Amino acid sequence: MALNMFQREEQRYDQELVLFKAGQSTYALNVLKVKEIIRPVPVTESPNRHSIVEGVIQVRGQVIPLINLYRLLEIDESVTVYFLVIEMGEQLFALKTGPVSHVHRTHSSTIKQPDAVTKGKEAFVSGVIPLPDNGVAFSLDLEKVLHFIQPSHMQGAMATDERRRNYPLLLVEDSKTLRSLLVDALREAGYEDVTTFDNGRDASRYLSDDACPLYEAIVTDIEMPYMNGHELTRHLRQDSRYQETPVIAFSSLDKGLMERRGEEAGVTEHVAKPDIHQLVDALDRQLLEKSESV
């Protein structure tokens, strides 16, 4: 009985989002990325900082950068009400925002990809979320924000291995910036045959087609419009062609929690963003090392 109730809840929503204001618009971040919400504290200017980084703040003994969301979005700055302390993998920073309203529960299937409705905000928006009051919230693409501030933090030379050329991959990632970086890095490493999708729904439809070529491994984000990575994995495991295919979850959400949920869905390994080298290592373990042991 309890399990059935939980499953029904999971069908109704699979994301909990912190909603907050910047200017006249509402923005959203997954609650698992928001480590803490605090009132403004003193900011210390730091040398050689990016124009959207105000400086650094101290939070519980840790010194972290403060990103000014108003500058990032190029909107007039109103009264600052909160700092959101954000944790993404090994990255810890704060966002300067306006009022925080509440936690909104929704399902990936209701989240739309950014288009003309975003009215110019699409540069740092990864999704458009319908709200009960007929308004919308814009999901921030934090991977792109970090890359904008420090382009080198996701990059680094990749050692090429010729054996990787024999393994076609399918990559599902909604962040256009990160998707491009991943494709470049994977091809540099030797995984040259990479097919990409920007959401789980379209990837699932493509893979379910009998005419679809077989892929040796699938790399997927977790948070995506239309269908999340865990739901995509469940769909794949119902297809006899993909019951044993390695599925690597590449996500900035809490690794421990995502590993537990991923295991239930059928995920093979979880790698924390933005460590592309660890992603290549995981692919090598699942493809090269297992091939050699046969």
Domain total for the chain? 2
Q: pLDDT tens digits, the chain, 294 residues: what are they?
A: 343 433 444 557 788 999 999 988 999 999 999 999 999 999 999 888 888 999 999 999 999 999 999 999 988 887 778 999 999 877 899 999 999 999 999 998 899 888 755 555 557 888 899 999 889 999 998 888 888 887 755 556 678 889 999 999 999 999 888 899 899 999 999 999 999 999 999 999 999 999 999 999 999 999 888 999 999 999 999 999 999 999 999 988 777 777 788 888 999 999 988 788 999 999 999 999 876 665
Q: Which domain-ending residue is among 88, 117, 149?
A: 149
Q: Are residues 40 and 105 located together in one domain of the fold?
A: yes
Q: Are residues 229 and 117 located together in one domain of the fold?
A: no
Q: Is the dihedral of CA 224, 141, 107, 16 positive or negative?
A: positive
Q: How many angstroms separate the Cα of 258 from the Cα of each of 184, 197, 249, 265, 285?
A: 26, 21, 9, 10, 20
Q: Are residues 217 and 285 located together in one domain of the fold?
A: yes
State the pLDDT at residue 236.
95
How deeply is 88 buried, as exposed, middle or buried, from its count of CB atoms within 10 A (0-12, 13-18, 19+)? buried
Q: Are residues 211 and 145 located together in one domain of the fold?
A: no
Is residue 90 within 8 Å of 271, Cβ to Cβ? Answer: no
In a domain, 83, yes or no: yes
Q: Is the dihedral of CA 234, 182, 197, 139 positive or negative?
A: positive
State the pLDDT at residue 102.
92
In a domain, 50, yes or no: yes
Q: Which domain-ending residue is among 96, 121, 149?
A: 149
Q: Are residues 141 and 168 located together in one domain of the fold?
A: no
State the pLDDT at residue 202.
96
Read off the CATH number of the domain in which 65 is found: 2.40.50.180
Distance of CA 82 to the CA centre of its chain: 23
Q: Are residues 43 and 58 located together in one domain of the fold?
A: yes
In a domain, 1, yes or no: no
In a domain, 3, yes or no: no
Q: What is the DSSP letter of 287?
A: I
Q: Are residues 188 and 128 located together in one domain of the fold?
A: no
In a domain, 2, yes or no: no
Domain enclosing residue 181, as ranges = 155-293
For the stretch 179-183, contacts whose Cβ atoms lie closer than 8 Å and that sit 24 or more positions apart, written own/partner, are: 181/147, 181/154, 181/155, 181/276, 182/219, 182/250, 182/276, 182/279
Q: Are residues 144 and 198 located together in one domain of the fold?
A: no
Q: Are residues 49 and 113 located together in one domain of the fold?
A: yes
- pTM for the model stands at 0.81
Q: Are residues 219 and 118 located together in one domain of the fold?
A: no
In a domain, 5, yes or no: no
Residue from 186, 177, 114 nearest 147 by CA: 177
Q: Are residues 15 and 145 located together in one domain of the fold?
A: yes
Q: What is the DSSP letter of 11?
A: H
Read off the CATH number of the domain in which 177 is found: 3.40.50.2300
Q: Are residues 200 and 170 located together in one domain of the fold?
A: yes
In a domain, 102, yes or no: yes
State the pLDDT at residue 15.
87
Q: Which domain-ending residue is among 89, 121, 149?
A: 149
